[in-house]
Amino acid sequence: MGMVTALDKFYANIEKNDTDNLMFDYDGLNYMISYWGRYIITEDLVTGDEMEYCIAGDNREFVEAVLDSKVNQTRDKSIREMLLELPPEKLLV
């Protein structure tokens, strides 16, 4: 079975040596996740305002911390929940 959601694609690519940034748009924000830099950057697609979040942890601990992060505008939805709603082609590697 192939990738069904963007979350499947996220797991398939996040720890690869040639993957640094993963990006997706969701509900008016662009999200950029850097595995090697250990951060998430969000950018409002209308205003261009950015927020940067540094995430602690190494390897799998970092990955799970990113997925559990609620960095959307209303702080009520995790990145995991967002990626589950998106098709794999919406996650740019």
Pair type for strands 50-54 and 39-44: antiparallel
When pLDDT is cut at 50, 70 and 90, the band that residue 7 belongs to is very high
Residue 82, Cα to own-chain centre: how many angstroms? Answer: 9
3-class DSSP state of 2: coil
**DSSP secondary structure letter of residue 88:** G
Considering only residues 14 and 29, tell me which one the structure prediction assigns the higher pLDDT: 29
Dump pLDDT digits (tens) for 49-76. 999 999 988 889 999 999 999 999 999 9
CA 21 to chain CA mean position, Å: 9
Task: Judge contact between 88 and 9, C-beta under 8 A.
Answer: yes
- Whole-prediction pTM value? 0.92
Q: What percent of the chain has pLDDT over 70?
A: 99
